[in-house]
Structure 1
Amino acid sequence: MDTPVRAAIDAGQSDRPDVSVVIPVFNEFDNLRDLVQRVGAALEPTGWTFELLCIDDGSTDGSAALLAQLAGQYPWLHPVALARNYGQSTALQAGFERARGRYIVTLDGDLQNDPLDIPALIERLETDPEVDVISGWRRQRQDKALSRRLPSVVANRLISWATRVPLNDYGCALKAYRREIIERIRLYGELHRFIPSLAREVGARIVEVPVRHHARTRGQSKYGIDRTFRVILDLVLIVFFLRYRQRPLHAFGGLGLWLLTPGLLILLYLGVQKLMGEDIGMRPLLLAGVMMVLMGVQLIVAGLTGELLIRIYHEGTARPQYHTRPVSAPRP
């Protein structure tokens, strides 16, 4: 993350905490005081140093002012107020860029995730070097509304199948990461739903563990059944990103060849018929053949353009094409 924010934060590496908790907040005024207290109650007994980054995503209910007030009571609370409502992915990215801990934990601000689960997740990362990301699984969800449970089931199965990262609960915000994994990914749009997939793409080893889940008692849910349709659109993006980001010609060019080949065969067939004296000018097959050839050529050109952009992306920004991990000798 070569940003001014990251450079400023890295300048003070000596006082890095062990754990950074990142929570995006949008109109959660009624929950914030309890949320901050519960995070402190969960982490203070562990002996780990920690910080809590609450990213106010343009709230209109006074959440930002309350966070500023609470920061005066809790020195480990660091509120960040975004200029407007950008969405959960951007809020998380703002938190990731400011997080200084060796381990980074995310959860929602509605008190449905339980901060008391955080120490167990960190302990697993501390003791198991073969795990980079721990994703929470709300095995016993307390959401009673079918409009929330059904879309979640459909989305989890669809995302697991399409991304080839099988998880039971992609929607659970409670996750723990090693710092180096977070530094390899960037979020935009609504890619927060696919963080495990993005993490796997940069080499993370992921496990899923059951966590507690509570019913919402205060505030209003920000999710509805319309989210399912947005997930499908985002899924198209993430599948393309994961499979074809390094080789866009295979995506566009492959589809282009599927159109170009039958289009050329159609035109060849009609050309032979024209040489035999038949009138082909009014045949719909001629229009179909011409359209398939033109579309095929356009897609192949789009793939070549994508290849050039990828080269510029890697060479111009010096972003790595691969990542490595420490190699340790097997235990006797």
Structure 2
Amino acid sequence: MSVDLPCSDSAVVAVSVVVPVRNEAGNVSPLIAEIAAALDGRWAYEIIYIDDGSTDATAERLKAARRQHGNLRQIRHATSSGQSAAVRSGVWAARGAIVATLDGDGQNDPAFLPDLIAAIEQGGKRIGLAAGQRVGRKDTGFKKIQSRIANGVRDAILRDGTRDTGCGLKAFRREVFLMMPYFDGLHRFLPALVRREGFDIAYVDVTDRPRRSGVSNYGFFDRLWIGILDLAGVWWLIRRKKPTPHATEVE
């Protein structure tokens, strides 16, 4: 993994926006402009793009964008490691106490980032995650059906109270994310794992948009069985969780 850091390490950052991408060259510049439009003047923030082994011009587009946006950081995985690994690399590199995420294909509208960030700030320490919930989805009929089935099965087993865990628009406390056990596919189970750590979740309705350019990097049948195994693993993690004991130092 390589990291380019145009910002000073001493820069004060309240919010880190993490954007995982793979082969999204055509979506880089428009999305960065939209993130800036949503957050400029509201928070001290940084944008961290994780290039997950792209083979197109994504790296070059990011390098060019960094000349215009001083708060843009670029992290590159030498080989593609998946969306969860990309998000994790971004969270580890983040300087902000609050981390917001969105997909890099343009379907997630950055205009909803302020609502998600505000939900974390206003919720106090009890809110560990603000989760975007898509309405009016622009996906194909088949993708909507597979998502509905997957969400229904997941909620029946994990009872995480979330109708849509696949939305990339999220905000969470960095410290809460780092408490959770890491595994490939983690990003699909954040609500259940946040509840496992004893935190509540805020929900924000967001509207979906069509992809601007390129094609989806994520299929259905190539992750079906992995998803089933992940679901079983998360169920086991929740069952094995013990309450954190109340501890006080003895003088």
Q: Which has the larger radius of gyration?
A: 1
Which residue number in structure 1 is paired with residue 80 of structure 2?
A: 85
Which residue number in structure 1 is paired with residue 182 of structure 2?
A: 187
Q: CA deviation at 1:188?
A: 2.5
Aligned AA for 1:16?
V
Between 1:127-136 and 1:171-180, the stretch displaced more is 127-136
Which residue number in structure 2 is paired with residue 100 of structure 1?
A: 95
Which residue number in structure 2 is paired with residue 322 of structure 1?
A: 244
Q: CA deviation at 1:120?
A: 1.3
The one of 130, 137, 147 equivalent to 1:134 is 130
User: Quick check: 1:28 aligned with 2:24?
Assistant: yes
Contact persistence 1:53–1:95 (CA under 8 A):
yes
Which residue number in structure 2 is paired with residue 69 of structure 1?
A: 64
Aligned AA for 2:39?
L
- From the superposition, tell whether residues 200 and 25 of structure 1 become closer, same or farther in structure 2 (CA, over 3 Å): same
C-alpha RMSD of matched pairs (Å): 2.1
Local SS of the residue matching 1:183: helix
| Aligned mates of 1:89, 1:137 — CA distance in 2 | 19
| Aligned mates of 1:243, 1:212 — CA distance in 2 | 34
User: Quick check: 1:213 aligned with 2:135?
Assistant: no
| Aligned mates of 1:23, 1:172 — CA distance in 2 | 13
| Aligned mates of 1:147, 1:217 — CA distance in 2 | 20
Query: What whole-Å deviation, never above 9, does each CA across 1:209-238 have from its counterpart, x for those lacking one?
Result: 201210113110123331343322211111
The one of 171, 174, 182 equivalent to 1:176 is 171
Contact persistence 2:119–2:202 (CA under 8 A):
no
Aligned AA for 2:158?
T
Pairs within 5 Å for 1:228-243: 228-243=224-239
Task: Give 5+ residue unaligned stretches, structure 2.
Answer: 4-8, 247-251
- From the superposition, tell whether residues 323 and 64 of structure 1 become closer, same or farther in structure 2 (CA, over 3 Å): farther
Task: State the TM-score, normalizing by the size of structure 1.
Answer: 0.68
Which residue number in structure 2 is paired with residue 200 of structure 1?
A: 195
Which residue number in structure 1 is paired with residue 41 of structure 2?
A: 45
Q: CA deviation at 1:45?
A: 3.4
Task: State the TM-score, normalizing by the size of structure 2.
Answer: 0.88
Task: Give 5+ residue unaligned stretches, structure 1.
Answer: 6-11, 247-320, 325-332
- From the superposition, tell whether residues 323 and 147 of structure 1 become closer, same or farther in structure 2 (CA, over 3 Å): farther
Aligned AA for 1:133?
L
Aligned AA for 2:83?
Q
Q: CA deviation at 1:159?
A: 1.1
Contact persistence 1:181–1:199 (CA under 8 A):
yes
- Highest RCO, 1 vs 2 (Cα 8 Å, sep ≥ 6): 2
**Percent sequence identity over aligned pairs:** 38
Contact persistence 1:147–1:225 (CA under 8 A):
no
Contact persistence 2:27–2:212 (CA under 8 A):
no
Query: What whole-Å deviation, never above 9, does each CA across 1:265-306 have from its counterpart, x for those lacking one?
Result: xxxxxxxxxxxxxxxxxxxxxxxxxxxxxxxxxxxxxxxxxx
The one of 224, 246, 249 equivalent to 2:219 is 224
Aligned AA for 1:83?
A
